[in-house]
Amino acid sequence: MTHEQNRPDESRAEVLESTVGEARAGHVRAPRINVASHAGRPRVVIIGGGFGGLNAARALKHAAVDVVVVDRYNHHLFQPLLYQVATAGLSPGEIASPIRWILRRLSNVQVLLADARAVDRTRRVVELDIGELSYDYLIIASGSAHAYFGHDEWAPMAPGLKTLDDALFVRRRLLMAFERAEVITDPEVRRQLLTFVIVGGGPTGVEMAGAMAELARHALVKDFRAINPRDARIVLVEGASSILTAFPPALQARAEQSLAGLGVEVRKGTLVTGVTEGAVQAGDERIDAGTVIWAAGVAASPLGRTLGAPVDRVGRVRVEPDLSVPGSPEVFVIGDLAYREQEGKPLPGVAQVAIQGGRHAAASVVRLTEHQPTQAFRYRDLGNMATIGRAAAIAEIGRMRFSGWLAWLVWLFVHIMALTGFRNRVIVLVQWAWAYITYQRGIRLITGQGTPPGSRQ
């Protein structure tokens, strides 16, 4: 007797949820997922709706294949601007778009809202939280997560920025620090509340530090009566000998000068050895801080380890030159989850690597369906940029290295054009223009729960 016969009053969704629950407990095999398909056409499953996954799907729009895009979130997130949501510069909907909407015109693409748990290369199935999904070709673009270097217990006190939930939680924590300081009479407690530490001097950490400084020194300056938001202390801690290590020394120095101009304290060559509620141990210095933001490192998605293929120390899959998994030419790993060297150096964890990797993996799938050999992937570096604040940025594009106003304008143009959807581009442009004219950040809303996203039930 089937589940439907046993429970006539339950919906199909409830039956599926019950069956999947039993499968997780080991009682039955997870159900196969019913997806649209055409007889005789191979199925390409893409795990992840980020830069790599979406570009792979788009590159397959004219191919004689059925594509299934799987993501745990229903939206594509433009992560490079996530810090602007966290610092009240932009709203979540301005840097995110529904994946179904983005791919709506691709008739051979179906989108599934599900969480990929494991890959069985022998059976050619992906184990999802809603069942099993078979594939003929697989492109894994599940990205990375925060890495606390073996100290995951720091996560509740030092949230990072990877999702919209993370950004909204950080925004709440930042704004609540000023609200609490407004009503505290103890000067030491107030000083602690108005001390903010960012761990990690890469682009995310530097951009976050600059945005926080502008928030405190401009946007909030007239909002309070008992405190002066300009008294906020912002400390950027970096373990390496310099910030923005991917940039040339001259541009690193310009970025550090811009941070100093905003009042940001930079600690270089300083390792964080402890994070507690209300304090950070940075080298020999204890910094009493009410808010700590983590931007120090990432670890590859755990999905990579389920492949049973060689991985590096942070869990990235060591792929073949064509980005396929050793021993499985039909499985490709791209973006932050893939470890691939070019000219003796690992490819950086930036959006362009994922974008180009997604397109290359899609082209390889097409070649395989046509019984042609695949080609080695070669990353084309289109440049590197970081913004520190108002009219302050650094850029390295080919042999050109520049900073200041021009670099900032280039940064603005590139990021606006990279956003998904004309509406988002227009709204973000208007928001930035308004912020430039008025020095204001209009999205100063305290919303959501006061607990980190990962700890919610």
Q: Among all residues, which ones are annotated catalytic?
A: 207
Residues 157-187 as b/e (b if ≥16 CB within 10 A, e otherwise) read bbbbbbbbbbbbbbbbbbbebbeebeebeee
Question: Tell me, what amino acid is at 187?
Answer: P
Q: Where are any strands of DSSP class E within 200-268?
A: 233-237, 264-267
3-state secondary structure of 13: helix
Beta bridge partners of 233: 195
Alpha-carbon distance of 99 to 113, in angstroms, equals 10
C-alpha to C-alpha distance for 368 and 64, rounded to whole angstroms: 12
Q: Please, what is the end-to-end C-alpha distance for the chain in angstroms?
A: 34
Cβ neighbours for 17, distance < 8 A, ≥ 6 positions apart:
none
Classified as helix, coil or strand, 26 is coil
| Dist. CA 315–CA 311, nearest whole Å | 5
Helical ranges in 42-155 per DSSP H: 51-59, 82-86, 99-102
137: Cα separation from own chain's centroid: 25
Alpha helix (H) residue ranges in 33-163: 51-59, 82-86, 99-102
Choose among 163, 142, 49: nearest CA to 420. 49
| Contact indicator for 446, 176 with CB cutoff of 8 Å | yes
Q: Measuring CA to CA, which residue among 385, 330, 336, 339 is closest to residue 361?
A: 330
- What token pair was written down for 443? 């999205």
Question: What DSSP string describes 391-437?
Answer: TEEEEEETTEEEETHHHHHHHHHHHHHHSSSHHHHHHHHHHHHHHHH
Place of tokens 């070649």: 367
User: What is the tally of helices (H) and strands (E) in the chain?
Assistant: 12, 27
State the Cα angle at 160 between 438 and 256, rounded to 5°: 55
